[in-house]
Amino acid sequence: MKRSRLCVLTIAASILSNPPLHKGGTVSEEAGQTLVPVVRAEATGTLTGLVKLDGPAPKGKPINMAKEPICVKAHPTPPLTEEVVAGANGTLQNAIVYISEGVPNSTFDPPSDPVVIEQKGCQFHPHVVALQSNQKLQVVNSDPTSHNIHPLPSNNREWNRSQPPGLPPLEESFAREEIAIPVKCNIHAWMRCYIAVFKHPYFSVTGATGSFSLKNLPPGNYAIAAWHEKFGTLTQKVTIAAGETKTLDFVFKPRANMSE
């Protein structure tokens, strides 16, 4: 009830703020797009940068998969834990950089492409994914063994599905913003990944180089946050002018930010 009322309000608000763009009762594809600021001419700001760790990164430890011989066989040498994956210059992989404050009030339709998590070698790939609320998540099992996919959200529905080998991908979605949902496979206690859910499209997960890029930013004042599963969250303020490209680095200090 609450949600449908909210929905009506949102629609009403968007009609009021964009009166010439909304023609008639049906929401055409065109009308849907005009509500999203990313296609506005001025929404062309870009923010790029690096996420780094100040000081030596803790090394990953070999994962003991002895409880599942099939998993052991999948790796010539035991894979390393992925809590902290750092490059040579302290650049951090698997961090999520996103707008935490200042996102324009709007509804953002989720992209139609799904985000895919593959279970391979008894690990989740990638280790950290980010998607929009109600965007499709596909979970694929490429192993010759069963896994169970068990997200442990605090702001979304907790579900737990078994996925034996050879079955089609599971499709799910998350309705609400949450950064980030830990995911377990109970059968293989070492398996873990994180799913971050955003109500807007302004997020970026760092790869091997530790770099991020937020594109199509409307001009404005923003709080930009960097999240890392081990080191927590850092936030910085930034102002983006129309069409501006800025750089911003995040440096985690392991001791100050270590929660465990």
Partner 1 sequence: MWTERSIEHEKASRARVGRLRPQAFRLPVLAILAAILPATLPSAVCFAQQTRIGNVTGSLKRGKELYRRYCVGCHGVLGNGQGENAPYLDPRPRDFTAGVFKCRSTDTGHIPTDMDLYETLGRGLHASAMPSWFPLTRQQRIDLIAYVKTFSPRFHEEKPEPVVPVPPEPPASPESLNRGLEIFKKMECAKCHGLSGRGDGPSASTLTDSKDRPIVPYDFTTGERFKCGQTNQDLYRIFMTGLDGTPMPSYLKDLKPDQAWDLVHYLRTLQMNYENSANNGAVKTSPARQPGRSIRNALRAVSGSK
Structure tokens at 42: 């001025």
Q: Does 61 bind partner 1 (CB under 8 A)?
A: no
Q: Does 13 bind partner 1 (CB under 8 A)?
A: no
Site for partner 1 in 186-225 (CB under 8 A): 186-189
Q: Does 9 bind partner 1 (CB under 8 A)?
A: no
The span from the CA of 113 to the CA of 136, in Å, is 7
CB of 227 to partner 1, least distance (A): 21
Q: Does 161 bind partner 1 (CB under 8 A)?
A: yes
Q: Do residues 53 and 92 lie in contact, with contact meaning Cβ atoms separated by under 8 Å?
A: yes
Stretch that binds Cu ion, among 12-20, 41-49, 187-195, 221-229 (CB under 5 A): 187-195
Choose the contact partner of 162 out of Cu ion, partner 1, none; CB within 5 to 8 A by kind. partner 1
Taking the mean position of all CA atoms in its chain, how far away is CA 203?
A: 7
Rounded alpha-carbon distances, angstroms, from residue 252 to 13, 17, 132: 40, 40, 25
The span from the CA of 71 to the CA of 234, in Å, is 36
Rounded alpha-carbon distances, angstroms, from residue 220 to 103, 215, 238: 9, 13, 8
Residue number with CB closer to partner 1 (39 or 167): 167
Q: Does 36 bind Cu ion (CB under 5 A)?
A: no
CB of 80 to partner 1, least distance (A): 19
Structure tokens at 157: 């529905």
Of 96, 5, 149, which Cα lies nearest the Cα of 13? 5
Binds partner 1 by CB under 8 A, chosen from 6, 80, 152, 242: 152
Binding site for Cu ion (CB under 5 A): 147, 185, 187-188, 191
